[in-house]
């Protein structure tokens, strides 16, 4: 299980390394900022942008097998929490204006869903998600373009979330309504990400 978790973290990091000639530049400006919960720093030389992201799936939990389709008793969900992240230009850390929750749909969306984020029963933020596609990711030997559903939250709201006892994300679309109540591990991931913001 531990090797599977390391493999997934490595695949996530390497998905941003787009060519061998850029690998040294990427490697110099990328790395693991925290191992538990995992927080990664990944530099994208094509966009001259650094992404700091924390995983929202515990690599040591049974949920991981279901999430990636390895548990025959629990098929992958229609939509799942993946990471929470922020970006800054170049390699010099700067304070972000927004932090984004990234969700992975099983099937691609054509139109972005709406979302709300509540802390301790009070809605702190509502909005429309954005859809983002990754280019040319190799999955099982074939090229795919996975889609991300991105829920952007102002930094001050994110800071308030990290102080809450109960956090709930709701996503609403024509396909249905989905609710995500963050567990203790996920709340630790939010706190770990916030600790990297100066």
What are the two backbone dihedrals, phi and then psi, of residue 173, each rounded to the nearest 5 degrees?
-145, 180
Name which of 67, 63, 85, 64 is nearest 77 in CA terms. 67
Per-residue pLDDT of the chain (198 residues; tens, 9 = 90+): 443 344 344 444 434 333 333 444 455 678 999 888 999 999 999 899 999 999 998 876 655 555 555 556 666 678 899 999 999 999 999 999 999 999 999 889 999 999 999 999 999 999 999 999 877 665 566 656 789 999 999 999 999 999 999 999 999 999 899 999 999 999 999 999 999 998
Joined tokens for residue 27: 């490697």
Q: Residue 45's CB: how many other CB atoms inside 10 A?
A: 17
Specify the pLDDT at position 59: 75
Specify the pLDDT at position 19: 33
Specify the pLDDT at position 157: 97
Specify the pLDDT at position 57: 87
Helices (H), 15-108: 23-28, 63-67
Q: Distance between CA 169 and CA 153 in Å, rounded?
A: 11
77 three-class SS: coil
Specify the pLDDT at position 87: 96
Specify the pLDDT at position 36: 83
């Amino acid at each position: 299980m531990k090797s599977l978790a390391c493999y997934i973290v490595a695949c996530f990091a390497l998905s941003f390394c787009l060519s061998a000639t850029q690998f040294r530049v990427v490697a110099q400006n990328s790395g693991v900022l925290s191992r538990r919960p995992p927080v990664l720093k990944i530099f994208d030389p094509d966009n001259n942008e650094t992404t700091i992201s924390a995983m929202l799936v515990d690599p040591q939990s049974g949920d991981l097998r279901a999430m990636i389709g390895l548990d025959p008793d629990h098929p992958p969900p229609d939509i799942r929490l993946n990471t929470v992240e922020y970006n800054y230009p170049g390699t010099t850390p700067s304070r972000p204006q927004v932090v984004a929750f990234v969700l992975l749909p099983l099937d691609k969306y054509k139109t972005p869903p709406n979302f709300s984020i509540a802390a301790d029963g009070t809605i702190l933020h509502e909005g429309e998600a954005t859809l983002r596609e990754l280019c040319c990711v190799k999955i099982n030997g074939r090229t795919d373009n996975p889609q991300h559903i991105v829920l952007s939250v102002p930094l001050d709201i994110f800071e308030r979330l990290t102080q809450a006892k109960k956090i709930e994300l709701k996503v609403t679309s024509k396909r249905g309504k989905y609710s995500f109540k963050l567990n203790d591990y996920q709340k630790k991931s939010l706190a770990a990400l916030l600790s990297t913001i100066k």
